[in-house]
């Protein structure tokens, strides 16, 4: 099977949604490209291709042939994209400021008597300066795309302003042409200038708003420092992180951000990992412990050995995941893309028909009105609002989710989470902590320190999973290790050892019975209650005497009960599915109030269970964290993995929760509902604007009330329609989830 690769690359030269559609079309046609999507809101190309069949250079050549460009040479395309966006914003800012500086006197001349011969020439000069100096890109891009057989918003702006300017220039140079016909030679220089000024202002506001939608990516990128202290030959030197390699030794000082993933070699400290894991309490780190790039070292200093640098760090993976998700397309966007592809040619056709209709109805006398209406149609039509409606909402939604430690891999998950009516939860590691802990104990006599030392020593030497629970339980008891006279592991039962010629044992009920130890009635009743709750039992004895019975269980997470309660309150049907024994599953289900549960389920059974729910018409989300959940996760309509689960579970899942807080599930669902609602609002207003604006600009109301839309107002409306769509998307940042 051929290896494929996915890249997110900055795109240069796009002016509207039609441009994004054209770039996407160019790349998709290439042999060796599996899929490509262009995000106009982020100015990025998300391409999946086969490196064996083609290179990024081949893609760049194809894009350049269409009049655009992509950035492929840089090590960090995310930072390049940010820099290009800032540069683009500053350029548009200068153009808008210059255009308005000349438009103001142009408008004043028009209002003061712009129809005289002398003021006409001055207005022509001002209008020409605006078009040539500050609106030049509209004409250059418009001509370039027209020559390549395409049209975009620049085409509409170039056509409308050129027509208005050339008509005005004709009237200025040959005013007698209209005088001879009893008409006054009207000029529209102010329209040409103000159209460009308003559109540049709209683009400026649009760029500012679009940049705000990428704040989540910038926040994640800001977690990584620019330099690090590399240790070479016992000496420290500050070096850019781009120069670091796996195996390098790096010294991290108090208060610094950790620059790479690695393991602590020397020293110890507490590290704040809340920005990645969501855990509010700093984690203690000592030799051998793993640390992650972007987390913050607190008081101590330590030296780490780099295991992941650059693009291979966990932080870089999260950034790529968020950006790829933001660049993916919702199903509804494909319809919008098809509309945008034909939008400009259709608008040009409507403009021509408008001009012809006015002349047919009113004759030569209506020529100025025909021209005015045709120009207004060209100006008011806005493919950008349509193109920005979906991606801006998705970018804000996915970015906001990332800020709440919810990583959404693609927009399918974000769009379908709001449709989910059934949640299937795994038990171990999802509803429970996934780590066995001592939950109760019964001592037949008061446990003195000698007995605790013996139990501690026995469990430290044992390799059984339950032993770690007992060790953790005894850590704060003051128990200490000693060297036993003899130690033996009894396979499948436990351990026994000699201390001062006395045999002590720790293990299961079978081991206890082998020593003929008697269980008092009160202990027997307690162990039966523990077994009914699904607890695992550890027995500890001296010779034929039982000293203690210990109950071990995987504790329910503190947030599980609240999470299940919220999901049920929001109308979800909650199921519990686990490979654990039926008693343990029933205990967890009863505590959490889950009525649909099943234990002892193998991976195939989990998949079949979800399939059966789907056949009943249910929309199912599966939440799990283990390899045994991967089949069920793949089968579910939406798959959710716990961030501390296995790589396989996270690889299959569409959504990853980076913290153990299960209340994030209901938060993700609410965020999906809010995002989809905003997309629908944006698309509604974008379509309505064009459906109402274009006929209004064509003059449909003129026979009724004499209303004919001025191109200046049309350009202002068009410019602010895009801004309104992006601003509406940005509201999602401030909506409570």
pLDDT in tens, 97-136: 999 999 899 888 877 765 566 788 888 999 999 999 999 9
Are 451 and 534 in the same domain?
Answer: yes
**pLDDT for residue 618:** 93
CATH of the domain at 9: 3.30.70.100
Q: Is the dihedral of CA 83, 89, 90, 95 positive or negative?
A: positive
pLDDT of residue 646: 42
465 and 543 in a common domain: yes
Residues of the chain with pLDDT under 70: 1, 17, 73-79, 81, 113-117, 178, 181-184, 209-223, 274-281, 320-337, 340, 382-383, 465, 626-628, 644-652, 737
426 is catalytic: yes
Domain boundary among 621, 641, 664: 664
Q: Tell me: do 481 and 453 sit in the same domain.
A: yes
**579 with 640, same domain?**
yes
Domains identified in the chain, total number: 4
Q: Write the CATH number for 296.
A: 2.70.150.10
Do 655 and 582 lie in one domain? The reply is yes
245 in helix, strand or coil? coil
Does some domain include residue 480?
yes
C-beta of residue 540 within 8 angstroms of C-beta of residue 455? yes
- Dmax (CA) for the chain in angstroms is 130
CB 4 within 8 A of CB 49: yes
**Contact in structure between 229 and 212 (CB atoms under 8 Å):** no
Say which of 154, 248, 337, 426 is annotated catalytic.
426
Residue 215: predicted pLDDT: 59
Evaluate whether 304 touches 265 at the Cβ level (below 8 Å).
yes
End residue of a domain, out of 312, 328, 351: 312
DSSP string of 413-438, one letter each residue: HHHHGGG--EEEEEIIIIIEEEEEEE
> Is 545 among the domain residues?
yes
Q: If you search the block for the tokens 């999470």, which residue do you land on? A: 563
Q: Is residue 292 part of a domain?
A: yes
Q: Are 305 and 328 in contact (CB under 8 A)?
A: no
Residue 566 has a CB neighbour count (10 Å cut-off) of 18
Calculate ∠ Cα 412-579-527, nearest 5°.
140
On whether residue 210 sits in a domain, the answer given is: no
Do 586 and 520 lie in one domain? The reply is: no
Please tell me the predicted confidence (pLDDT) of residue 276. Answer: 62
Scan for tokens 């300066």, then name that residue. Answer: 129
550 lies in the same domain as 451 = yes
The CATH code of the domain that includes 479 is 3.40.1110.10
Residue 598 is part of a domain; what is its CATH number? 3.40.50.1000
Q: What is the pLDDT of residue 281?
A: 58
pLDDT of residue 737: 67
- Angle ∠(151,153,155) on CA atoms, nearest 5: 50
What is the pLDDT at residue 337? 63
- Is-contact 302 252, C-beta < 8 A? yes
Which pLDDT does position 125 carry in this prediction?
92
* Pair 572, 643 in one domain: yes
Q: Is the domain of 444 the same as that of 412? A: no
Q: Which residues lie closer than 8 Å to 602 by C-beta, 6 or more apart?
A: 579, 628
Considering the domain architecture, whether residues 439 and 552 belong to the same structural domain is answered as: yes
Report yes or no on 689 lying in a domain: no
Judgement on whether residues 495 and 563 belong to the same structural domain of the protein: no
pLDDT at 644: 61
Sign for the CA dihedral angle at 450, 454, 455, 456 comes to positive
Same domain, 509 and 552: yes
Residue range(s) defining the domain that contains residue 60? 5-83
**With contact defined as beta carbons under 8 Å apart, do 170 and 371 qualify?**
no
Domain stop point among 54, 83, 112: 83
Q: Beta strand 422-426 with 283-285: parallel, antiparallel or unpaired?
A: unpaired
Q: Is residue 257 part of a domain?
A: yes
User: pLDDT for 302-333, tens place per residue?
Assistant: 999 988 887 777 777 777 666 666 666 666 66
Element (H, E) at 675: helix 663-698
Q: How far apart are CA 2 and CA 53, in angstroms?
A: 9
The strand ranges marked E within 241-362 are: 249-252, 261-267, 269-272, 283-285, 290-291, 296-297, 302-308
- Residue 649: the pLDDT is 46
């Amino acid at each position: 099977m051929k290896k494929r690769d996915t890249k997110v690359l900055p795109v240069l030269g796009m002016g509207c949604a039609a441009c994004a559609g054209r770039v996407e079309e160019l790349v998709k046609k290439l042999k060796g490209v599996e899929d490509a999507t262009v995000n106009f809101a982020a100015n990025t190309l998300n391409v999946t291709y086969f490196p064996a069949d083609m290179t990024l250079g081949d893609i760049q050549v194809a894009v350049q042939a269409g009049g655009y460009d992509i950035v492929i040479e840089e090590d960090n395309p995310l930072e390049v994209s940010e820099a290009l966006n800032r540069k683009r914003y500053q350029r548009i800012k200068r153009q808008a400021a210059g255009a308005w500086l000349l438009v103001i006197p142009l408008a004043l001349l028009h209002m003061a008597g712009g129809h005289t011969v002398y003021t006409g020439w001055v207005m022509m000069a001002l209008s020409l300066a605006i078009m040539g100096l500050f609106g030049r890109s509209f004409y250059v891009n418009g001509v370039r795309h027209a020559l390549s057989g395409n049209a975009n918003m620049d085409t509409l702006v170039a056509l409308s302003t050129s027509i208005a300017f050339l008509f005005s220039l004709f009237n200025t140079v040959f005013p007698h042409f209209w005088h001879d016909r009893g008409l006054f030679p009207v000029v529209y220089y102010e329209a040409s200038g103000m159209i460009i000024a308003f559109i540049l202002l709209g683009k400026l506001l649009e760029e500012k708003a679009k940049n705000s939608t990428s704040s989540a990516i910038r926040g994640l990128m800001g977690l990584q420092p620019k330099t690090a202290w590399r240790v070479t030959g016992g000496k420290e030197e500050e070096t850019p992180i781009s120069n670091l390699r796996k195996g390098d030794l790096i010294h991290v000082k108090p208060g610094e951000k950790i620059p790479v993933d690695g393991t602590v070699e020397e020293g110890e400290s507490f590290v704040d990992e809340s920005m990645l894991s969501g855990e509010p309490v700093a984690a203690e780190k000592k030799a051998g412990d793993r640390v992650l790039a972007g987390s913050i070292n607190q008081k101590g200093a330590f030296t780490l050995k780099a295991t992941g640098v650059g693009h291979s760090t966990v932080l870089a993976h999260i950034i790529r995941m968020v950006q790829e998700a933001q660049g993916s397309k919702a199903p509804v966007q494909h319809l919008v893309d098809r509309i945008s592809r034909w939008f400009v040619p259709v608008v040009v056709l409507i403009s021509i028909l408008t001009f012809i209709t006015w002349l047919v109805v009113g004759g030569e006398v209506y020529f100025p009105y025909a021209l005015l209406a045709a120009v207004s149609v060209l100006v008011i039509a806005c493919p950008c609002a349509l193109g920005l409606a979906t991606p801006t909402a998705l970018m804000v939604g996915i970015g906001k989710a990332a800020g709440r430690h919810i990583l959404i891999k693609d927009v399918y998950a974000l769009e379908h989470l709001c449709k989910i009516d059934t949640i299937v939860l795994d038990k171990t590691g999802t509803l429970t902590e996934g780590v066995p802990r001592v939950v109760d104990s019964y001592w037949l006599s008061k446990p003195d320190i000698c007995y605790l030392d013996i139990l501690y020593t026995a469990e430290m030497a044992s390799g059984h999973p339950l032993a770690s629970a007992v060790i953790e339980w005894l850590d704060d008891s003051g128990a200490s290790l000693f060297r036993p006279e003899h130690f033996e592991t009894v396979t499948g039962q436990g351990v026994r050892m000699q201390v001062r010629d006395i045999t002590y044992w720790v293990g299961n009920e079978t081991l206890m019975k082998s020593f003929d130890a008697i269980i008092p009635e009160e202990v027997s009743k307690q162990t039966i209650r523990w077994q009914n709750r699904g607890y695992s039992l550890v027995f500890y004895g001296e010779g034929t005497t039982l000293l203690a019975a210990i109950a071990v269980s995987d504790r329910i997470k503190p947030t599980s009960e609240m999470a299940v309660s919220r999901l049920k309150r929001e109308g979800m049907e909650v199921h519990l599915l686990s490979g654990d024994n039926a008693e343990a599953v029933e205990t967890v289900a009863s505590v959490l109030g889950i009525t649909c549960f099943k234990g002892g389920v193998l991976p195939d059974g989990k998949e079949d269970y979800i399939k059966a729910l789907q056949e009943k018409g249910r929309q199912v989300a599966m939440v799990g964290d283990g390899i045994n959940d991967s089949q069920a996760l793949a089968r579910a309509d939406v798959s959710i993995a716990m961030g501390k689960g296995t790589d396989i579970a996270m690889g299959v899942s569409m959504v990853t929760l980076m913290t153990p807080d299960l209340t994030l599930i209901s938060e993700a669902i609410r965020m999906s509902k809010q995002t989809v609602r905003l997309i629908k609002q944006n698309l509604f207003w974008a379509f309505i604007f064009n459906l109402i604006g274009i006929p209004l600009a064509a003059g449909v109301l003129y026979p009724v009330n004499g209303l004919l839309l001025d191109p200046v107002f049309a350009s202002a409306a068009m410019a602010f329609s895009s801004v309104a769509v992006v601003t509406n998307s940005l509201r999602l940042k401030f909506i409570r989830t």
